[in-house]
Amino acid sequence: MLYFILFITLFCILYTSQVKAQTCSVDTFQRNECGYAGITQDECTSKGCCYDSSVGSSSGIPWCYSNGINSEYSLSQLSPTDYGLQGILTISKGQNSIYGEDIKTLKMEFLIENENYFRLKITDPNDARWEVPSQYSDRPTKTHKVNENDIKYTWEINDNPFTIKVIRKSDKAIVFESSPIIAFKDQYLEITSVFSGDMNTYGIGESTRLNHALKTNMMYTLWNIDMPAKMMDFNLYGSHPMYIHHESGSQSSYGVALYNSNGIDVALGDGYLTYKAIGGVIDLYGFLGPSPEEVVQQYTSLIGKPNLVPYWSLGFHNCRWGYEDISHVEQVVKNYSNAKIPLETQWLDIDYMDEYRDFENDPENWSYTDVGKFIDNLHENNQHFVEIIDPGIMVYKGYDAYEQGNAANIWINGMDSNPYLGQVWPGPVYYPDFHNPNTQDYWTNQLANYHKKIPTDGFWIDMNEASNFCNSDGTGQTCMNPDPENCPTGDDATQTDCCLKCTTIDETNKLAFPPYKIGNKQGNGNLGTKNIDMTATHYGNETEYNLHNMYGIGEAIMTYNAMAKITEKRPFLVTRSSFIGSGKFTNKWTGDNAATWNDLYSSIISIMDFSMFGIPMVGADICGFMDDTTEELCARWIEVGAFYPFSRNHNDRPSAAQELYLWDSVTDASKNALGMRYRLLPYLYSLLAEAHWLGSTVARSLWWNFPTDKGTTGIDSQFMWGSSIMISPVLKEGATSVDAYFPSGKVWYRFRLNDDESSDAYKMEVDATEGGKTLTLDTPLTEVNVHIKGGSILTLQDAKMTTAESRDTPFTLVTALCQHGKAHGTLFRDDGINMMDKSDEGTQVNYSAEMISKEGKRKETSTSIVITSEVVSDAYAKDEIKYIIITAVSGLPDASSLNNIHTKLVINKDSKTVLTHQDDCKITALASGALKLEFNGLDFNVNKNWSLEVSY
């Protein structure tokens, strides 16, 4: 029997290795599609291709494939330039005509653009090719020369075959190493980075996943499309070809980005990452880090740092598709207020439009007078209003947006040079070409005229992939409207059925059907599927093929500029479609999720991805967009969503209502979670402002803040705000507890909405100084676990019904000491409304605290805690500090010995104020053991230098 099993095993090994050995021994990442999804093994092998279904159907890796490209180039004429090196690449091996002819001679530039990042650019010296134009990013048009000693990397270049390796000087880590295989054809570029070690790859989006670290042996496709976010592992609305590598437990990270707007497949193998782009040039940047936070700062310094968001946008937003009329919405706003759930901003979806036309309200249900009054009321209550706008402009005689667009000649054109006709909600539409500089005036005028009637505080820019209800198989080209009377809604047809008749594109057309087919998951995968046809043209005769992924950023830039001009305040935008650099102009929501527990879980991962992509103000639709939510799911969702940087409940038209006040438990959960959010607003705003000024992130993974703690690897169910607040929500149906991981090296304190004397707020939950710990935390339906990392100083205000009211309450400074009795924190404060050129137009403060034990004359030890405020800039003066909380650490006096405490507060060096607990400063001890100091009648504002000594 044993022999028999051995024999069978041996036979299997021999057999499989033999099959593989035939032609098919190629790494999964190198496979080229040879069939189509669903091809049978017989059909595949009869085409002479290899078949292997073991990679599974969700990996995106072809089952039926041919061996990959293996062309190599050799380098010659390497010479220094002002900004680095350049040389000529000549194909030296593996020339082929898979996906088109090889471009045999290339120009290679290695550019030292910055001490912290490099650029590898490979272009065709004989033919100018499409490159992302400079107006879409902060990329310098002229490079500045970096002082040689400042460069933080070295490089090794191999001539034949050409490879390049970039090494970080500080620790010799390899930041980028190319494989010898390079392909450069008109419509196919391939470059691979190789790496070793137990590397986790993060980034490469937009996609919905249940794991933050990308799974290997998968193909990730980047091609913007109107595809519901609920679809796992599909290409979605945005393209961000950027990744960060981090080896579990290591100190070091680095990032790589391919600055390319064409359709891209990213194949991730074990130790390989291959970019396969179907156009443009190889324009690759490597960011040295070494912390992930520094990678993002370096990346955003190149692509554009995030926009400075208005303070009000940090409040809670309510939205839904399917409100019937303005009185319905008025009732919703009232209901929120009656339930005492803070509603900052009410949104309107496309319901308000007259036959779905932008800039025109339905006169019956959404009249200018009624909606105008509604907005006035919101504004009187310090609440805000945001409205949706879609890019497609209805082809409709006499409609101003249409007529003006014609007059200004700013549409995207079809192959026949007439405006490209597509179909979206209004029916037949033309699309403004946001690549055309003349579109700015057109767009600004349209928005300005509309804004006079509907003074919206922000715009929600949807459908900007741009979506098209026609061209569902991607083979349509020039479309016309055969029956204007019945288009869009003829007999039995709905608004979303295509009513245009389109000519069929010639199957030899290389733009619609490029030789390499990226793994676009929409319909049959053609690029034009549900999009504008690839042969359509933009300003300068640039093709949709090249510009497609940039339509959303183009719209964001022009809408941002328009709103900045119209309101003379910080614009507030939220987009669906995004690209490298979008964060400078717009914020983002993650699109059409569904009301499922998996969607709740994956939302945290999506938010962390967009932190990496330079769009920190991001959120998912709370309680789920598609499908009916449940009470439990909605309660758990607001507990997570209250900690999305952008916090909005949004619902699909056919789904059951899900406003937070509809269930008692959800109401309670909302009051608690949003209450904590509102208390933390000064901290959250500081993070978002720092993101704008420094390019840093807001929502972070645990590993991001604790890279050397292996225990944080793979934890996607908890996340942090900055480096101080950790959120550990319930993400499972029926669960009333959470196994939360507390990263190593720190003590962790409870954060609670209620911090009066009886509460356990600020109690030390766990001491993880000796190593990370997992704790099971009781978490009833209406609660969420929020912790403060020891070593933080946080600024809080009171939770109120609006951000404006919260802003009017005095500050509480929470000094959460670390195990060594130290803490620090920062505050950024400004009016939250006006545009700012420089950070010192606001107030910036650095806080620090230290506990010192002193030995007195008679060998008695006394302890003092010194907290200081060091002002960097003091332009904004409004906020007063009223409470200072010092968390319980061992040795702190308890309630019975408060009389032994002496405090001395010195505000500004010259104006000395000395206090004890008897007069201007009252001291109480909280149940948690924390001390709470209350100051009264002092000129104690956040823009002052001060120091407080608490001794006992």
Residue whose CB is less far from ligand MIG, 525 or 591? 591
Q: How far is the CB of 469 from ligand MIG (least distance, A)?
A: 8
Q: Where are the beta strands (DSSP E) in 857-896?
A: 861-874, 881-886
Minimum CB–partner distance for residue 324 and ligand MIG (Å): 15
Q: CA quadruple 338, 339, 341, 343: dihedral positive or negative?
A: negative
Q: Which is nearer to ligand MIG, 462 or 716 (CB)?
A: 462
| 898-917 binders of ligand MIG (CB under 6 A) | none
Among 358, 592, 659, 755, binds ligand MIG (CB under 6 A): 592
Nearest-5° Cα angle at 363, 360 to 366: 85
Q: Shortest gap between Cβ of 622 and ligand MIG (angstroms)?
A: 12
Output 588 or 650, the one with its CB closest to ligand MIG: 650
Which tokens belong to 33? 């599609």
CB of 651 to ligand MIG, least distance (A): 8
> Which of 94, 89, 90, 102 shows the shortest CA–CA distance to 68?
94
Tokens representing 684?
A: 């959250």
Q: Which residues, other chains included, contact 832 with Cβ-Cβ below 8 Å and sequence gap of 6+?
A: 310, 311, 312, 685, 803, 807
Known catalytic membership, residue 632: no
Radius of gyration of the chain (CA): 29
Is position 102 an interface residue for ligand MIG (rule: CB under 6 A)?
A: no
Active site residue 462: yes
Name which of 221 and 655 has its Cβ closer to ligand MIG: 655
What 3-state class would DSSP assign to 501?
strand
* Nearest residue to ligand MIG on Cβ basis: 321
388 binds ligand MIG (CB under 6 A): yes
How many residues are listed for the chain in this entry? 952
Measured from the CB atom, the residue of 239 and 260 that comes closer to ligand MIG is 239
Quick one: which H or E segment has residue 111?
strand 105-114
Q: Which is nearer to ligand MIG, 574 or 580 (CB)?
A: 574
Binders of ligand MIG among residues 508 to 537 (CB under 6 A) are none
Residues 612-651: x/- map of binding to ligand MIG (CB under 6 A)? Answer: --------------------------------------x-
Sequence-distant (6+) residues with CB within 8 A of 296 are 255, 611, 612, 614, 695, 696, 697
Binds ligand MIG by CB under 6 A, chosen from 175, 277, 350, 511: 350
Residue 555 binds ligand MIG, judged by CB under 6 A = no
Q: What is the helix (H) or strand (E) element at residue 451, kind and residue range?
A: helix 439-453
Residue from 576, 692, 750, 752 that binds ligand MIG (CB under 6 A)?
576
Closer CB to ligand MIG, residue 392 or residue 675?
392
Cβ distance to ligand MIG smaller for residue 389 or 816: 389
Smaller CB separation from ligand MIG, 350 or 933: 350
- Which residue in the list 370, 465, 544, 830 is annotated as catalytic? 465
CB closer to ligand MIG out of 229 and 309: 229
- State how far the alpha carbon of 155 is from the alpha carbons of 105, 125, 158, 190, 194, in Å: 23, 23, 10, 21, 15
- Give the residue from 219, 283, 171, 207 showing the smallest Cα distance to 68: 219
Q: Is 793 helix (H, G, I), strand (E, B) or coil?
A: strand
For residues 265 to 304, the per-residue mask of contacts with ligand MIG, x marking binding by CB under 6 A and - elsewhere, is ----------------------------------------
How many Å apart are CA 544 and CA 263, to the nearest integer? 11
CA dist., res. 658 & res. 746, Å (int): 39
Catalytic annotation, pick one of 294, 592, 632, 879: 592
591 binds ligand MIG (CB under 6 A): yes
| Widest Cα–Cα separation across the chain | 100
CB of 43 to ligand MIG, least distance (A): 37
Q: Which helix (H) or strand (E) holds 379?
A: helix 368-380
**Binding string, residues 58-97; x marks residues near ligand MIG by CB under 6 A:** ----------------------------------------
Q: Please state the φ and ψ torsions of residue 637, each to the nearest 5 degrees.
A: -70, -40
Our answer to whether residue 668 is catalytic in this structure is no
Q: Which is nearer to ligand MIG, 83 or 321 (CB)?
A: 321
Q: Which of 462, 659, 690, 830 is catalytic?
A: 462
Residue with smaller CB distance to ligand MIG, 497 or 841: 497
Contacts of 668 (CB under 8 A, 6+ apart): 782
**In whole angstroms, how close is the CB of 58 to ligand MIG at the nearest point?**
23
Enter the tokens of residue 76: 């010659």
Minimum distance between the CB of residue 468 and ligand MIG, rounded to whole angstroms?
Answer: 11
Query: Rule CB under 6 A: is residue 225 a binding residue for ligand MIG?
Result: no
CA-based nearest residue to 353, from 364, 344, 343, 337: 364
The tokens describing 549, both together, are 């992924």
The distance of closest approach from Cβ of residue 389 to ligand MIG in the complex, given in angstroms and rounded to an integer, is 10
Phi, psi of 943 (to 5 degrees): -95, 20
Q: State which amino acid sits at residue 83.
A: Y
Residue 82 is given by DSSP the state: T
**Distance (Å, rounded) from C-alpha 279 to C-alpha 164?**
22
Give the nearest distance from C-beta 427 to ligand MIG in angstroms. 13
Is residue 349 close enough to count as binding ligand MIG by CB under 6 A?
yes
Q: In whole angstroms, what is the distance from residue 209 CA to residue 608 CA?
A: 12
Q: Which of 83, 321, 539, 952 binds ligand MIG (CB under 6 A)?
A: 321
CA angle 495, 498, 502 (to 5 degrees): 155
Our CB check for ligand MIG shows the closer of 355 and 934 to be: 355
Taking phi over 0 as left and psi of -120 to 50 as alpha, with beta for the rest, 192 belongs to beta
DSSP 8-state assignment for residue 143: P
The nearest distance, CB 465 to ligand MIG, in angstroms, is: 10
CA 294, 621, 325: angle at the middle one, nearest 5? 140
Q: Output DSSP code: residue 917.
A: T
Minimum CB–partner distance for residue 179 and ligand MIG (Å): 39
Position 599 contacts ligand MIG (CB under 6 A): no
3-state secondary structure of 347: strand
Identify the CA nearest to 64 among candidates 76, 53, 75, 78.
Answer: 53
**Residue 835: other Cβ atoms inside 10 A:** 12
Whether the Cβ atoms of residue 702 and residue 719 lie closer than 8 Å to each other: yes
Number of residues binding to ligand MIG, judged by CB under 6 A: 10
CB of 621 to ligand MIG, least distance (A): 7
At closest approach, how far in Å is the CB of 230 from ligand MIG?
Answer: 11
Q: 585 CB contacts (<8 Å, ≥6 apart)?
A: 304, 307, 553, 556, 557, 559, 560, 571, 573
Closest CA relative to residue 223, chosen from 462, 584, 534: 534
Q: Tell whether residue 462 is a contact of ligand MIG (CB under 6 A).
A: yes
Binding site for ligand MIG (CB under 6 A): 321, 349-350, 388, 462-463, 576, 591-592, 650
Kindly list the catalytic residues: 462, 465, 592
